[in-house]
Amino acid sequence: MNDQSKAFTMEMDKSGSVASDTVMNPHKVTSRKVSVFYGLKQALFDIDLDIPDRAVMALIGPSGCGKSTFLRCLNRMNDTIPDCRVTGEIKVDGRDVHDPDLDVVELRGRVGMVFQKPNPFPKSIFENIAYGPRIHGLARSKSDLEEIVISSLEKAGLLSEVKDRIHEPGTGLSGGQQQRLCIARAIAVNPELILMDEPCSALDPIATAKVEELIDELKKNYCIVIVTHSMQQAARVSQRTAFFHLGILVEEGSTADIFTNPTDKRTQDYITGRFG
Amino acid sequence: MSDAIAQAPGARTRENYWRTNAAKRRVRRRYAADRRLQYYGLGSIGLAIVLLGILFSSLIFSGYVAFFTTKIGLTIYLDPNVIDKANPGAANYRKMARNAFFTYFPEVTSPMERRQLGKSLSSGAPYVVRNYVIAHPEEIGDLVDIKVPLSDPFDQLSKGVIPREIDALSGDRVALFNVLKRRGVLHVENDKAYVKADVYINPGDVPEGDVEAADYQRMVDEAFRTFYMRAHSRAYEEILSQDVASAVKARVLADPALVGKTIQVNLPLSKHYDNLARTGEAKVLNPRFSSEKDLQWFDSLKKRGLLTTHFTWELFFNADSRFPELAGLSGALTGSFLALLVCFLLSFPIGIATAVYLEEFAPKTRWTDFIEVNINNLAAVPSVVFGLLGLAVFLNVFGLPRSVPLVGGMVLALMTLPTIIVATRAALKAVPPSIREGGYGVGASKHQVMLHHVLPLALPGILTGTIIGLAQALGETAPLLLIGMNAFIPSIENMGLLQPAMALPTQIFSWADSPERGFVSRTSAAILILLSFLIIMNAIAVYLRQRVERKW
Ligand SMILES: Nc1ncnc2c1ncn2[C@@H]1O[C@H](COP(=O)(O)OP(=O)(O)OP(=O)(O)O)[C@@H](O)[C@H]1O
Ligand SMILES: [Mg+2]
C-alpha cells in the first residue's frame, strides 16, 4: 500500500464509525440489471446497485466508465438524449422509475440534480431558487416562496454571502457560489435524493471544502449520490463507494472497505493510482 | 556552416534543423503568406468601403436637392363669397392662386401671356391653398400669406440643377465644324462668319445659258462637299446658311462671263454655327422653358426676394403626385408599413413555431431532414419566384384583391419565413445545453424548459434574424411589382390592408421611370430614406446581438 492510500485510511479512522450507521438505513434506490445503450453502443452492463437513505454514496472510476450515465438513469435525464435506451429496473422508494404511470416531472422533482459545471439560470438569485417551487406549486403564497428561498440558501450555506444581492443575477456569483446556488436550487424543491455529478471539479479547495461541508450537513436528511474523480473527496464525504470500470460495476461496499481493503484487483489498481 | 551540417546525411539533429536555410526560408514564406492574407483582407475591405462611399456620395449628391423646395409667397384674399364655409373644398382655388400670382406682374395682361406665366406656378398650388383653407376655416374672409411651390423647371432652375441655356450643337456637329476650322477656311468679317469656298460655276447647271434660272445651290453643295469627302451623313449641310446660293447668284448675275470658271465665294454660316465660329460656343434656351420671358419673370421674382427655399416636408407628408415638386413618400411609407406588419404577424409566430418544432421536438427522420434541407433552400430562392407564387396562389386561386398590402405582406412573409426559421434554429442551438439540463434537473417539463429558459435566451438572436428578414422584405421590389403593389395613390386617407397601395421600393421604381427632372432627385432622396430605414433596422439588430453576447 502506498502513501496515498495510507492517508485515506487515516482519514477514515478519524471520522470514526462511518460504516456502522449506513447499514441501519433502508435502501432508497435499488437497481437491477440496468443496461444503457447510446445507439448501438452499450455504456452500462447489468448494474445491480443499492443506495442507502440518509447517506452519501460515491461513484468512482476512470473517465468514460459510465458513472454519469448511471447517475442520469436515476432521474431519467437520459430521456433527453435522443437514441439513448435504458433497460433493467430502477426503483426509487420502491417505485419503478420507468413505470408508465410515473410522471417524469414528478420524479425529477423528487430526485434533484447538481451538475459538473455550475449552471445557474441567467436570472436573479431569487428567481433561480424560486423557479422549481413555483412550477411544482410548492409555495402557496409569496411569503411562502420567500421562506423557501431563504431556507434553501441557508441550507446551502450561501445566505450570508448573498443576503443583500438576492435580486442580482446568479451568473454574477463566483464559481463556488454558483455551484452552491445550484445545490440550493436543487434542495428548494424538497427532493428526497440528490444526484451530484462531479460538483467540485470546477472549484478551488476552499470552495470544495464548503461544498463538502454542505454535503455532510445534507446527508442527515437526504440521500446523496455523488460522482467524483477525487478519491480524497470520496473518502471524506461518502459512507459507501461503488467502483465502475468500462461500464461494469466492479465493486461496491463501505467506503472504508473499498479504500483499505478492496477485493478486486482493478479497484486496488485504481485507488492506488496505477490507472485511470 | 549549418548548411554543411544539414546536407551531410544523418547530421540533421534537432537543433540545427531549425537553423537550416530551408527552415529560415519556410519561416519567411510563412510570414509572407500571413501578411499577404492580411493585405487581401484589407484590400477587399478598402474596395468595399470605396464602392459604398461612391454609392452614397452619388446618391446624396443627386438626392440632396430633393430635400429642398423653392416656394413663392402668395397673398390671397379668402373671399367668403367664393368659399362656402360649409363646404370649403369646392371653391375654385386654381383661379384664386393664379390671380394672387398675377398681381406680381400687373403688366402681363393678355390671356396668352398669362397662361404662360401661370405655368411657373406648380399645378399643385391650388391644392396647397385648398388644404390650407380646410385646415384653417376660421381664416375665411382674411388676407392670408401662403407659400406655394414653383413648377418643376423653375424649382430646378432655382436650385441650380438645370441651366438656363444648353448647347445648341451636339458633339458630332461640333466635330464636323472643326474640320473647317482646321482647314483654315473660316473667317470673320463685320461680325459675321464665312467659309471661303471655291465654287465652280458649272455650265451644266445653267440651263441654256439662263443665269437667272441656274441651280446655284447645287454648285455650292458641290463645292462645300469637297471639305467632307469622307463624311457618312449629309449633316454638314446644315452648317451653311439657307441663302448661300443668292451670294453666288449675285456674283454671276453681275458677271455672266464667270460661267465655266471657278470663283472664290464667302459662304455665310447658319445661326448656331455662326455663333460657334465667332464666340466659340452656341447656346439655345433650355427647352424646358417656353421662352426667354419665362426667365425674365423668374429673375424678377427672385430680385424682389419673393422666392424662398424650404425643407421639403412634403417628401415625408405628401402622398404620390404627378407633379414632382409635390410628390411625397407618405403613401409608400404607409404601404410598406402595412405590408411589413402583415409580414411580421405572419412570419414571426409561424417561423418560431416551425423552428422550435424542428429543433426541439421533431424526431430525426428522413422526412424532417427533407423539410430541413428545403427550408434552407427556400432562403436562397430569388424573390421574384415568391412574387409569382403569390400571384398564382393568393390572387388567382384565393381570389384576393390585387395591389393590396395584405397580399404584399403575405408574399413578403413567404420570403422572410426561411430567414426567421434558420435564424431561430441557430439561436436555439446557441443556448447552452447546461441551461436545459438545469431546467430538466429541477423538474421542468419540456415546454416549461422551452418557454421559461430556452426561448428567452434565444430571443435576441431570433429578433436579430427577424429584423434582418424584415429589412430584406422592406427593400424587396420584384414580388411587389408582380402583385401590382405599385398603384398610384395620391392620398393616404383611404389606405388600408385591403386598399391598393404602393411600397417604398416600388415607389422608387415608378419615380425612376418618370421623365420629369424633379423625379430624378426625388428618386435619389427616396433611396436615401429607404437606406436610412434599413440602417436603423440593422442597427437595432446589432444592438440586440450585443445584448445577447453580454448575457453569458
Ligand atoms: N450522449 C452520448 N452519446 C453517445 N455516447 C455517450 C453519450 N454520453 C456518454 N456516452 C458514452 O458512454 C460512456 C460512459 O460515459 P459517461 O459520461 O457516463 O462516463 P463518466 O464515467 O461520467 O466519465 P467522466 O468521468 O469522464 O465524466 C462513454 O464511453 C461515453 O463515450
Ligand atoms: Mg461524467
Which pLDDT tens digit goes with each residue over B268-302? 888 889 888 888 888 889 988 988 999 999 999 99
What type of residue is B426?
A: A
Q: What is the pLDDT of residue A239?
A: 93
Q: Are B52 and B46 in contact (CB under 8 A)?
A: no
Query: Which residue in the set A75, A119, A136 is minimally distant from B438, CB to CB?
Result: A119
> In this structure, what C-alpha cell is assigned to residue A93?
422508494
Can you spell out the DSSP letters for A151-200?
A: HHHHHTT-HHHHGGGTTSBGGGS-HHHHHHHHHHHHHHT--SEEEEESTT
A159 pLDDT higher than 60: yes
Closest residue by Cα to atom 26, ligand 1, is A63
Among A79, A84, A105, A110, pick the best mutation site for testing chain B contact (most B Cβ within 10 A). Answer: A105
Residue contact B442–A115, C-beta within 8 A:
no
pLDDT for res A16? 40
Interface of A with B (CB under 8 A): 75, 77, 80, 82, 105-109, 112-115, 117, 119-122, 131-132, 135-136, 171, 182, 185-186, 188-189
Q: Are A156 and A214 in contact (CB under 8 A)?
A: yes
In angstroms, the Cα distances linking B353 to B140, B358, B366, B424 are: 59, 9, 20, 9
Q: Could A135 and B444 be called an inter-chain contact, meaning their C-beta atoms sit closer than 8 Å? A: yes
Residue in A112, A115, A135 nearest the CB of B437 = A115
Is residue B11 predicted with pLDDT exceeding 80?
no
Q: Give the largest Cα separation in chain B, rounded.
A: 126
Closest ligand 1 atom to A81 CA: 1
DSSP B276-307: HHHHS--EEE-TTSSSHHHHHHHHHHHHTT-E
Cell readout for B454 is 430556452
Cell of B527: 433611396
Of A153, A50, A68, A62, nearest to A117 by C-alpha is A68
**In testing the pocket of ligand 1, which one of A40, A60, A67, A84 has its CB within 8 Å of the most ligand atoms?**
A67
Atom of ligand 1 nearest to the CA of A67: 21
Q: Any chain A CB within 8 A of the CB of B432?
A: yes
The number of the ligand 1 atom at minimal distance from the alpha carbon of A229 is 25
Cβ(B479)–Cβ(B387) under 8 Å? yes
Nearest to A121 among B364, B445, B453 (CB): B453
Percent with pLDDT over 90 in chain B: 41
Burial of B497 (0-12, 13-18, 19+ CB in 10 A): middle
Residue B498 pLDDT more than 50? yes
Classify residue B442 by burial, with Cβ atoms within 10 Å: 0-12, 13-18, 19+.
buried
Protein residue closest via CA to atom 24 of ligand 1: A63
Judged by phi (left if over 0) then psi (alpha if -120 to 50, else beta), residue A37 lies in: beta
Helices (H), B431-491: 433-441, 446-448, 455-475, 478-482
Alpha carbons within 13 angstroms on the beta-carbon side of residue A224 total: 29
**Geometric angle at alpha carbon B88, from B82 and B92, rounded to 5°:** 50
Which ligand is nearest the CA of A115, by number?
2
Q: For residue A186, which residues of chain B lie inside 8 Å, CB to CB?
A: 441-442
Q: How far apart are CA B294 and CA B108, in angstroms?
A: 12
Residue A21 reports pLDDT greater than 50:
no
pLDDT at residue number A275: 64
φ, ψ for residue A63, nearest 5 deg: -60, 135
Instruction: Give A116 Cα–ligand 2 centroid separation in angstroms.
Output: 8
Ligand 1 mutation target, pool A40, A69, A71, A78, most atoms within 8 A of CB:
A69
Q: Which of B70, B73, B93 lies closest to B83 in space, CA to CA?
A: B93
pLDDT digits (tens, 9 = 90+) for B85-136: 888 888 889 999 999 999 999 999 999 999 999 999 998 899 889 989 988 9
Eight-class DSSP state of A65: S
Give the C-alpha separation, B210 to B201, whole Å. 13
> Could you tell me the CATH superfamily of domain A3-120+187-271?
P-loop containing nucleotide triphosphate hydrolases (3.40.50.300)
Collect all residues of chain A within an 8 Å Cβ-Cβ radius of residue B444: 105, 131-132, 135
In 3-state terms, what secondary structure has residue B532? helix
DSSP B395: I
Check CB contact of B441 with chain A, cutoff 8 Å: yes
DSSP, res A23 = H
Three-state DSSP class for B202?
A: coil
ipTM metric: 0.85
Cβ contacts of B434 on chain A, cutoff 8 Å: 115, 117, 119
In chain A, the percentage of residues whose pLDDT exceeds 90 is 46
At A184-223, the pLDDT tens digits run 999 899 888 999 999 888 778 888 888 898 899 888 888 9
Which residues have a Cβ under 8 Å from the Cβ of B142 and sit 6 or more positions away? B77, B78
A81 versus A44: which is more confidently predicted?
A44
Q: What are phi and psi of A6, to 5 degrees?
A: -65, -40
CB B410, CB B342: distance < 8 Å: yes
**How buried is residue A231: exposed, middle or buried, by Cβ count under 10 Å (0-12/13-18/19+)?**
buried
How many angstroms does the Cα of residue A50 sit away from the middle of ligand 1?
21
Kindly tell me if the per-residue pLDDT of B6 is higher than 80: no
Question: B442, B446, B550, B552: best mutation site toward chain A, by most A Cβ within 10 Å?
Answer: B442
- Is pLDDT at A13 greater than 80 in this prediction? no
Between chains, do B442 and A185 touch, taking CB under 8 Å as contact? yes
Q: Between chains, do A135 and B442 touch, taking CB under 8 Å as contact?
A: yes
CA dist A148 and A137 (Å) reads 12
**Ligand 1 binding residues, C-beta < 6 A:** A 38, 43, 61, 63-69, 81
Count chain A–chain B contacts defined by CB atoms under 8 A: 65
Mutate to test the interface with B, among A75, A83, A92, A113 (most CBs of B within 10 A): A113
Q: What is the pLDDT of residue A20?
A: 42
Three-state DSSP class for B232?
Answer: coil
Chain B neighbors of A194, CB-CB under 8 A: none
User: What's at B332, amino acid-wise?
Assistant: A
The protein residue with its alpha carbon nearest to ligand 1, atom 3, reads A38
Is B453:B436 a contact under the CB 8 Å cutoff? yes
Q: Residue A105: which of B443, B452, B457 has the nearest Cβ?
A: B443
- E strands of B183-231, at which residues? 186-189, 192-200
C-alpha B47/C-alpha B49 separation (Å) is: 5
Mapped onto helix, strand or coil, the DSSP state of residue B8 is coil
3-state SS, residue B371: helix
Average pLDDT of the residues in B423-451: 91
What is the spatial distance between Cα B470 and Cα B413, in angstroms, rounded to a whole number?
9
C-beta of residue A57 within 8 angstroms of C-beta of residue A225: yes
Indicate the residue type of B38: Q
Residues of B in contact with A188 (CB under 8 A): 442
Contact B269, B195 (CB under 8 A): yes
End-to-end CA distance of chain B: 56
Sheet of B143-149, strand order? B143-149, B68-77, B307-311
Exposure class string for A21-41: b at 16+ Cβ within 10 A, else e: ebeeeebbbbbeebbbeeeee
pLDDT averaged over every residue in chain B? 88
- B443 inside 8 A of chain A by CB: yes
Tell me the per-residue pLDDT of A245-274, one tens digit each, with 9 for 90 and over.
Answer: 999 999 999 999 999 989 999 999 998 887
Question: What's the grid cell of residue B368?
Answer: 424532417
Task: Find how far residue B249's CA is from the centre of its chain.
Answer: 56
Question: What is the chain A residue with the closest CA to B456?
Answer: A122
- The values of phi and psi at residue B463, to 5°, are -65, -40
CA of B366 to the centre of ligand 1 (A): 27
* Cell numbers for B153: 423647371
- To 10 degrees, the CA torsion angle through A25, A29, A30, A35? -150
Taking all residues of chain A, what is their mean pLDDT, rounded to a whole number? 86
Residue B142: is it exposed, middle or buried by C-beta count within 10 angstroms (0-12/13-18/19+)? exposed
| Tens digits of residue pLDDT in A89-130 | 999 988 898 888 888 888 998 899 999 889 999 989 999 999
pLDDT above 70 for A7: no
Every domain of chain A and the residues it spans: 3-120+187-271
- Of B240, B218, B227, nearest in space to B185 by CA: B227
Burial environment of residue B362 by CB neighbours within 10 A (0 to 12, 13 to 18, 19 or more) = middle
Q: Are A186 and A194 in contact (CB under 8 A)?
A: yes
Ligand 2 center from residue A96 Cα (angstroms)? 24
Q: What is the chain A residue with the closest CA to B551? A: A122
What residue has cell string 448675275? Answer: B253
* Contact criterion met (CB below 8 Å) for B186 and B277: yes
Q: State which ligand 1 atom lies nearest to the alpha carbon of A66.
A: 18
Say if residues B423 and B468 touch (Cβ distance below 8 Å): yes
Cα of B241 to ligand 1 centre, how many Å?
Answer: 102
Radius of gyration of chain A (CA): 19
Contact B434 A119 (CB under 8 A): yes
Instruction: State pLDDT tens for residues B378-428.
Output: 888 898 999 999 999 999 999 999 999 999 999 999 999 999 999 999 999
What is the whole-number distance in angstroms between the Cα of residue A229 and the centre of ligand 1? 14
In this structure, what DSSP letter does residue A124 have?
B
Question: What proportion of chain A, given as a percentage, has pLDDT over 70?
Answer: 90
Among the partner-chain residues A106, A115, A135, the one whose CB lies closest to the CB of B441 is A115
The tally of CA atoms less than 13 A away on the side-chain side of residue B440 is 16
pLDDT number for residue B66: 87
B518 grid coordinates: 424633379
The answer to whether B447 contacts chain A (CB < 8 Å) is no
Kindly state the cell numbers that stand for B170: 451636339
3-state SS, residue A44: strand
